[in-house]
Amino acid sequence: MGWGDLGAFGEPSRETPNLDRMAAEGMLFLDFYTANPLCSPSRAALLTGRLPVRNGFYTTNGHARNAYTPQDIVGGIPDSELLLPELLKKAGYTNKIIGKWHLGHRPQFHPLKHGFDEWFGSPNCHFGPYDNRERPNIPVYRDWEMIGRYYEDFKIDLKTGEANLTQLYLQEALDFISKQQASQQPFFLYWAIDATHAPVYASKQFLGTSQRGLYGDAVREIDDSVGKILNHLQQLGISENTFVFFTSDNGAALISAPRQGGSNGPFLCGKQTTFEGGMREPAIAWWPGHIPAGGVSHQLGNVMDLFSTSLSLAGLQPPSDRQIDGIDLLPVILQGKLIDRPIFYYRGNELMAVRAGLYKAHYWTWSNSWEEHSKGVDFCPGQSVAGVTTHTQEEHTYLPLLFHLGRDPGEKYPLSFASEEYQRAVEHISGLLQQHKASLVPGQPQLNVCDQAVMNWSPPGCEKLGKCLKAPESDPKKCSWPH
Amino acid sequence: MGWGDLGAFGEPSRETPNLDRMAAEGMLFLDFYTANPLCSPSRAALLTGRLPVRNGFYTTNGHARNAYTPQDIVGGIPDSELLLPELLKKAGYTNKIIGKWHLGHRPQFHPLKHGFDEWFGSPNCHFGPYDNRERPNIPVYRDWEMIGRYYEDFKIDLKTGEANLTQLYLQEALDFISKQQASQQPFFLYWAIDATHAPVYASKQFLGTSQRGLYGDAVREIDDSVGKILNHLQQLGISENTFVFFTSDNGAALISAPRQGGSNGPFLCGKQTTFEGGMREPAIAWWPGHIPAGGVSHQLGNVMDLFSTSLSLAGLQPPSDRQIDGIDLLPVILQGKLIDRPIFYYRGNELMAVRAGLYKAHYWTWSNSWEEHSKGVDFCPGQSVAGVTTHTQEEHTYLPLLFHLGRDPGEKYPLSFASEEYQRAVEHISGLLQQHKASLVPGQPQLNVCDQAVMNWSPPGCEKLGKCLKAPESDPKKCSWPH
């Protein structure tokens, strides 16, 4: 989902009354970022509070390459990483993940081995259908075991876009919340729905209801579901005791537009890029009785902050034996403070850009290669800014491209290198960058090796279902990350 | 000002609390248009309720050329046109224009000859400073007479952007409203401020207050002024008896970005073009006690509707002896109805595009010429859609380019000519176009002839001020309209 996909963020069809209400009753973040322009690394960052380059969710197979966890990936979340649910457990929380995990699908990466108590969802994206020979269909798990596979037991109609998955995820969420309320136990629910990820889907009751087509139908269903979850919290009388945050893991995938791609509002490019369209996200905090209604914050926020903020809410300290990139947003949310902190825009192993205040310095620019672009792979459809949306990797480390995101949110007008404003801002940002790089201990890259043998051939539980498939011989290779 | 310039429309800095409040208390129009992608013709359309091609505010000097009223223009609003204030007068209204008139500056075009009772402002844009030899500085009028000139008596500091004009216009508005309230007389106030038109300006107290730079400072001052006007109406106890509408006369002039150009949100291109960025406008209706708070409308609206709606509010009928293009929006505003009507996108003498429902058909495409573009004149900076933002005038009258503005608000993905959806929508829209063209009686074009002799050399009142200048010999020429 992109920054421009919600009514509260200016989407012209205004079809998200529930999320807009959530914003009106809570706090809207206008300068909130994800940790990576791609899904898996962002989610790893959200749950560890650490940049992907630290927690291992990146690749060194190429320079500045976007990598994730397809089903032939060998790596996943290392045991050495401490995940939010592992920590919350110590404070008595029951933790559930509903939806996409995406932090590795081999046994050692299972979410219930990393702090979650319950799981309903899948380890990888809902791509397919596959033939179960070349590659298996993606499994859907309940807790430790697979209970079926997408396209086989959990239908997704690629032609009509119909799938009832969001309804299943919603019901799981409502049931979990009811159960926790009944038992008076605190809970952490990671509701990781994926209806707006291509192949985009919506339930029958939402198909055709949006001005925006199938993508809008999916957004409407998510919006409706969020409304039902918030109402449920209120009806159970626990809304004033439950902190809710809504955000996304990367900008809208413009490459899937118009049928399956969303909107990044006035920002440049989309998913896969380190321009604003790739990493600035819709974000809303809601906690009636605590967060003043109708608040709007310009705090530079990041999904990693949800790690630190959640710990703070639970009365826990973040781990002191490692670098945590997230910050505690409670002073921002509850007292309206602004905390000075930079945003780092990584693409794989390269720090592409840094934002401090309203200034953003690009040390590298790249959209994608000419070769890919000539094949129609376009992360910036209809947009082209000379010297900025480059199709070769352009190094600007000696003289970064500097933008003022207040005057120029669309990153179209680099400041003059000769200006005093440029000198002052770049000096400041380059200091932050040096500090960051000097102390950086990169994690072991997890997204380098791919192997057909590790795919979801025989997940736990496959025997009961008669759905075990035969894995091919192991043949580890460097994963290919074209962009 | 552009669609994306207000917080309520998603502007990322959220610096328009007063206009956002106006929207929250009133009705926000998301699909509201101006009648032309340029100022003078839009304003003529607003006040006559008629398309520029009918009221004469267009040129036949070239095909599809944008024309306006610079100070060497010979034409202006014809006496045969009936303006809103002329009609309101019959219902006892006192009519005042504050700010830019732009409907011609020669004596016969004076606003007080066309229904206004009072005027404080200027006949042309605040361009300059001029040398008073080649061309005179633009006069500022109070009612019938000039009381000074821009840059001489009404300062605009082009370097800092400082000018207190909006404050003058605000005070005029407050005083006029107070006077009308005291005398218990109904009034029509046309508050035609121009701070966001290049050269953009703001008062000292607003300079440097916006994240967005000088343009944002100007928007903030306008926002603050609107807030003061609405508060004034409330304090005088006449807010429930006063209908207020806020909109703009063309999309943000992206050519003036980043220092002096605004935002058209997610839409394509800007001022001067018939893409959405050039003609879709922010629009808010406010009338406490009558308009339900927080309303949002997808009614296809147009500035010309303000003519018909205002007459309706005053209990008057629109003239029956001529074609009126505006519609009465009261059923939309008060009862939430949706009225089926097309939007016509003209550029000079050519109907470039037509919108009906969510479909928009382009019969001609043009941004500007290659020649201008190569000189850096760019109405679509950072944007380029092959076959759409063309630099030659491209005719599509036999096979219009069709966009679905719900799925594709950015006009990037023309529908396939072969699709059933295309056939159905184009058949419908082409029917509307034929109907429109068949009944069209173009007005005498007013924007064809330019003459240095008609410039503001010696406006009425210049003698008292010692500011009469000698006009050169008359030398009428075809005006040059490059785009």
Distance from CA of A7 to the nearest CA of B (A): 8
Q: Are strands A343-347 and A350-356 parallel, antiparallel or unpaired?
A: antiparallel
The β-bridge relationship of strands A94-100 and A118-122 is parallel
Interface test with A, best of B211, B255, B297 (most A CBs within 10 A): B211
B449-456: average pLDDT? 98
Of B10, B268, B382, the CB nearest to A265: B10
Chain A residues whose CB is inside 8 A of the B383 CB are: 382-384
CB-CB under 8 Å, B10 with A9: yes
From residue B325, alpha-carbon distances to B81, B302, B304 in Å are 13, 9, 7
Under an 8 A CB cutoff, do B10 and A14 touch?
A: no
State the amino acid at position B56 in one-letter form. Answer: G
Q: Taking CB atoms and an 8 Å cutoff, what residues of chain A touch B282?
A: none
- DSSP H or E stretch at residue A428: helix A420-438
Bridge partners (DSSP) listed for residue A333: none
State residue A121's pLDDT score: 98
Tell me which chain B residues have a C-beta less than 8 angstroms from the C-beta of A2.
none
The pairing of strands A394-395 and A94-100 is unpaired
pLDDT of residue B189: 98
Is A9 within 8 Å of B9 when comparing Cβ atoms?
no
> Which of A259, A261, A283, A385 is closest to A343 using CA atoms?
A283
CB atoms within 10 A of CB A293: 11
Please tell me the predicted confidence (pLDDT) of residue B4.
Answer: 98
For residues B324 and B341, what is the distance between their CA atoms, to the nearest angstrom?
13
pLDDT range class, residue B224, cuts 50, 70, 90: very high
**pLDDT value, residue A144:** 98
Q: Scanning every residue of chain B, which has its alpha carbon at the shortest distance from the alpha carbon of A7?
A: B10
Instruction: Tell me the nearest-neighbour CA distance from A109 into chain B, angstroms.
Output: 38
pLDDT (tens digit per residue) in B390-432: 999 999 999 999 999 999 999 999 999 999 999 999 999 999 9
Sequence-distant (6+) residues with CB within 8 A of B228 are B170, B174
Cβ distance A14 to B296 less than 8 Å, yes or no, reads: yes
Residue of B30, B210, B382 with shortest CB distance to A410: B382
For residues B315 and A140, what is the distance between their CA atoms, to the nearest angstrom? 65
- Given a contact cutoff of 8 angstroms between Cβ atoms, the answer to whether B304 and B46 are in contact is yes
Catalytic residues of A: 39, 102
Q: State phi, psi for A96 to the nearest 5 degrees.
A: -130, 140
Q: Any known ligand binding at A250? A: yes
Please report the pLDDT score of residue A110 as a whole number. Answer: 98
- DSSP of A84-153: HHHHHHTTT-EEEEEEE--S--SGGG-GGGTT-SEEEEESS-------SSSSPPPEEEETTEEEEEBTTT
Instruction: Provide, as residue numbers in chain B, all residues whose Cβ is less than 8 Å from the Cβ of A410.
Output: 382
Query: Which residue in the set A14, A358, A384 is minimally distant from B211, CB to CB?
Result: A358
Residue among A45, A69, A373, A21 at smallest CA distance from A228: A21
Dist CA A249 CA A35 (whole Å): 8
CB-based contacts of B235-239 (< 8 A; 24+ apart in sequence): B236/B177, B236/B178, B236/B181, B237/B181, B238/B177, B238/B181, B239/B287, B239/B288, B239/B289
**Crossing angle for the helix pair B214-235 and B17-25, to the nearest 10 degrees:** 50
Structure tokens, B253: 């002039």
**Contact of B8 with A8, CB cutoff 8 Å:** no
Asked if A75 and A476 touch (Cβ cutoff 8 Å), the reply is no
Residue B234 has phi, psi (to 5 degrees) of: -70, -40
pLDDT recorded at residue B271: 98
Tokens (6 digits) for A431: 């200091």
Going by DSSP bridges, is the β-strand pair B295-297/B27-33 parallel, antiparallel, or unpaired? parallel
* Residue whose token pair is 């935002």: B263
Q: What is the pLDDT of residues B68-110, one digit of tens each?
A: 999 999 999 999 999 999 999 999 999 999 999 999 999 999 9
Residues of B in contact with A211 (CB under 8 A): 298, 358, 406-407
d(CA A46, CA A42): 6
- A388 to chain B nearest CA, in Å? 10
Predicted structure pTM score: 0.97
State the Cα–Cα distance between residues A134 and A471, nearest whole angstrom.
10
What's the topology of domain A347-439?
Arylsulfatase, C-terminal domain (3.30.1120)
Told to judge if B362 belongs to the known catalytic residues of this protein, a careful annotator would answer no
Q: Left, alpha or beta for B335 (phi > 0: left; psi -120 to 50: alpha)?
A: alpha
How many cross-chain Cβ pairs, A to B, lie less than 8 Å apart? 103
Q: Do B406 and A382 touch (CB under 8 A)?
A: no
In chain A the first and final C-alpha atoms are separated, in Å, by: 20
What is B104-119 written as a DSSP string?
A: --SGGG-GGGTT-SEE
Which stretches within A188-286 are classed as H helix? 214-235, 276-279
CB A266 within 8 A of CB A4: yes
**Token pair for residue A180?**
């926790």
- Please state the φ and ψ torsions of residue A74, each to the nearest 5 degrees: -90, -35
Q: Which residues of B lie closer than 8 Å to A, measured between beta carbons?
A: 4, 9-14, 30-31, 210-213, 215-216, 257-259, 263, 265-266, 268, 296, 298, 358, 381-385, 404, 406-410, 412-413
| Beta pairing partners, B154 | B150
**Local structure of A313: helix, strand or coil:** helix
pLDDT in tens, A281-315: 999 999 999 999 999 999 999 999 999 999 999 99
Tell me how many degrees the CA angle A368-A373-A376 measures, rounded to the nearest 5: 130
Please identify which residue in the block is written with the tokens 């505003």: B333
Quote the percentage of chain B above a pLDDT of 70: 100
Closest residue by Cα to residue B359 from B451, B428, B313, B453: B428
* Alpha-carbon span A60 to B6, nearest angstrom: 43
Q: Which two tokens stand for residue B166?
A: 């909006």
**Pairing relationship of beta strands B364-365 and B394-395 according to DSSP bridges:** antiparallel
Q: For residue A17, say if its preceding peptide bond is cis, omega within 30 degrees of 0.
A: no
3-state secondary structure of B439: coil
> Inter-chain contact A266–B30, Cβ cutoff 8 Å?
no
Cis peptide before A476 (omega within 30 of 0): no
Q: Which helix (H) or strand (E) holds A120?
A: strand A118-122
The single residue listed with the structure tokens 């192993």 is A349
> Are A223 and A17 a contacting pair, CB within 8 Å?
yes
What does the domain layout of chain A look like in residue ranges?
Answer: 7-341, 347-439
Paired strand residues for B465: none
The type of residue at B323 is: Q
Q: Tell me, what DSSP letter sits at residue B395?
A: E
Q: How confident is the model at residue B19 (pLDDT cuts 50, 70, 90)?
A: very high
- The nearest alpha carbon in chain A to B298 belongs to A13
CB nearest B212 (choices: A30, A407, A413): A407
Structure tokens at B466: 């010692």
Task: Pick the closest to residue B434 from B389, B401, B382, B397 (CA basis).
Answer: B397
Q: Nearest CA of chain B to the CA of A418: how many Å? A: 17
For A159-182, letters b (16+ CB in 10 Å) and e give eebbbbbbbbbbebbbebbeebbe
Output the CATH code of domain A7-341.
3.40.720.10
Question: ipTM score of the complex?
Answer: 0.95
> Do residues B174 and B81 lie in contact, with contact meaning Cβ atoms separated by under 8 Å?
no
Among B205, B288, B269, B313, smallest CA distance to B409 is for B269
Q: Which residues of B touch A383 (CB under 8 A)?
A: 382-384
CA B352 to chain centre: 18
Q: Which residues of B touch A412 (CB under 8 A)?
A: 257-258, 381-382
The average confidence (pLDDT) of chain B is 98
The pLDDT, as a whole number, for residue B88 is 98
Q: Are A279 and A33 a contacting pair, CB within 8 Å?
A: yes
Residue type, B146: M
Q: Report, as ranges of residue numbers, the positions in chain A whose pLDDT lies below 50.
A: none
Backbone angles phi, psi at A169, to 5 degrees: -65, -35
Determine the Cα–Cα distance for residues A232 and A170; give it in Å rounded to an integer: 11
Gap from B407 CA to chain A (nearest CA, Å): 4
What pLDDT digit, counting tens, does each position of B155-186 carry?
999 999 999 999 999 999 999 999 999 999 99
> If you compute the radius of gyration of chain B from its CA atoms, what whole number of angstroms results?
21
- Pick from B52, B19, B11, B74: nearest CA to B193: B19
Contact of A244 with A233, CB cutoff 8 Å: yes
